[in-house]
Amino acid sequence: MNKMLELLSESLKSNGHSLTKTREKVFLALLDREPQTMADLANSVGGKVDRASVYRTIALFEKLGITERLQIGWKYKIELSDTFAAHHHHITCTNCNKTQVFEETSILEFELKQIAQEAGYTEVGHQLEIRGLCTSCQHKVIK
């Protein structure tokens, strides 16, 4: 079994759940991909798994901290939590909603920690999102 699937299986088991075929398919559809909307996700496992099961699976994954929601305006996308994917951030296009992943520099990471420390906090985590216009939308938008 794939290492990530083993990790998934362990985190399900330690919470009293088992690794079903549906859970495996939804998980694999999220692995190594950019964040997806629920509709995208339902489509990528579509045919094999019904929509309601995809929603139920994501609800469980969220509860167990396996997936996270990336809030974009009123909508959200789903992605695997830092346990299953390397720590990273996103840039989202405000026009077409395309999301790209980037890794921050150690300087930025360091400064975020410092901001927390100066405010008297111990930093346990952060979310950082950048919004803008992607290259293809820059050409479409009339200035």
| Total residues belonging to the chain | 143
- Judged by CB under 5 A, does residue 134 bind Zn ion? yes
How many residues sit close enough to Zn ion to count as binding (CB under 5 A)?
6
- Judged by CB under 5 A, does residue 93 bind Zn ion? yes
CA–CA separation, 10 vs 134, rounded Å? 39
Among candidate residues 91, 85, 76, 79, the one with its CA nearest the CA of residue 133: 91
For Zn ion, what does the binding mask look like between residues 34 and 63, x meaning CB under 5 A? ------------------------------
Q: Is residue 118 a contact partner of residue 124, using CB atoms and an 8 Å limit?
A: no
Supply the minimum distance, in Å, between the C-beta of residue 31 and Zn ion: 20
Among candidate residues 98, 54, 106, 63, the one with its CA nearest the CA of residue 77: 98
Stretch that binds Zn ion, among 8-16, 28-36, 60-68, 96-104 (CB under 5 A): 96-104
Supply the minimum distance, in Å, between the C-beta of residue 137 and Zn ion: 3
C-beta closer to Zn ion: residue 45 or 79: 79
- Judged by CB under 5 A, does residue 96 bind Zn ion? yes
> What residues pair up with 131 in beta bridges, in sequence order?
92
Among candidate residues 4, 28, 11, 19, the one with its CA nearest the CA of residue 86: 4
Binding residues (CB under 5 A) for Zn ion: these are 93, 95-96, 104, 134, 137
